[in-house]
Amino acid sequence: MNRPQPNRDNRARSRYSKSAKPKPQYRPSTGTPFRIVEKVIEPTPEVSQEPGAFRIVIAIHRPRFRSRAERGAARADWEVTALLNKQDPVGLCMKAPRPPDILVLSGDFGRQKNYAIFRAVQAMRAKGMRLIGVVDDCETAPEGFPDSAPAQLCDVCITPPLKSSDFRDILAQIYREIRDEEPPPLLAQLSREPLEEEDDED
């Protein structure tokens, strides 16, 4: 028995007509036309060449020597910051816009071992910071760190006992080297107060 065959043309047409997508038609935009905007670039402001205030950070563990260092740094227009034993001198030295001019650091500050803080601030020395170390022995390196003798890690290494006048002279000399000028007057001189002299007791 012969069955009628479906029209192949109709079958092909119905199959492709379901999946065929209408072609997109171009329609002119009715929105706001594009505009060319000229951008004016402002000139970069000039960076001030002024060195700024002379900054000193004191991180000394023993209160006696910390106070003497503060008195030795008490000059007009100097910014002096004295840290307590739990504060972080490394983070303060890395703080923008620049490290302090001088860091006075004792070997027992922060309960550090093997002069860890001394080593951590070496990158700041490369940026111009001067490091004054206050240690009991400037020449002996800690065990396991042969390159960490305080005399190698510091610009100036001093050992107790120390007076305010010792700090005063060292800080004034470093100021002359950095700024090429005489340091400002002492605050005690401005107030006409006599300079305190301490004994040599530790």
CATH number at residue 166: 3.40.50.2300
Q: Is 68 part of any domain? A: yes
Query: Which residue bears the tokens 């001198």?
Result: 89
For every residue of 85-103, DSSP letters joined together read TTS-HHHHHH-SS---SEE
Structural domain boundaries enclosing 169: 54-185
Per the structure, how many domains does the chain have? 1
For position 51, what pLDDT does the model report? Answer: 73
Q: How far is the C-alpha of 83 from the C-alpha of 19, rounded, in Å?
A: 78
Q: How far is the C-alpha of 127 from the C-alpha of 54, rounded, in Å?
A: 15
Helix/strand/coil for 104 = strand
Q: Is 69 part of any domain? A: yes
Q: Is 19 part of any domain? A: no
Q: How far is CA 165 from CA 38, 65, 146, 197, 200, in A?
A: 64, 12, 32, 8, 12
Q: Is 35 part of any domain? A: no
Q: Is 83 part of any domain? A: yes
Q: Is 194 part of any domain? A: no
Q: Is 172 part of any domain? A: yes
pLDDT (tens, 9 = 90+) of the chain, 202 residues, equals: 566 565 555 555 555 555 566 676 666 666 666 566 666 666 655 545 677 899 999 999 999 999 999 999 999 999 999 999 999 999 999 998 899 999 999 999 998 999 999 999 999 999 999 999 999 999 999 999 999 999 999 999 999 999 999 999 999 999 999 999 999 999 987 776 666 666 555 4
For position 87, what pLDDT does the model report? Answer: 95
pTM of the model: 0.73
Q: Sort 98 into a burial class: Cβ within 10 Å, 0-12 / 13-18 / 19+.
A: middle
Q: Is 36 part of any domain? A: no
148: its two tokens? 């960490």
For position 47, what pLDDT does the model report? Answer: 46
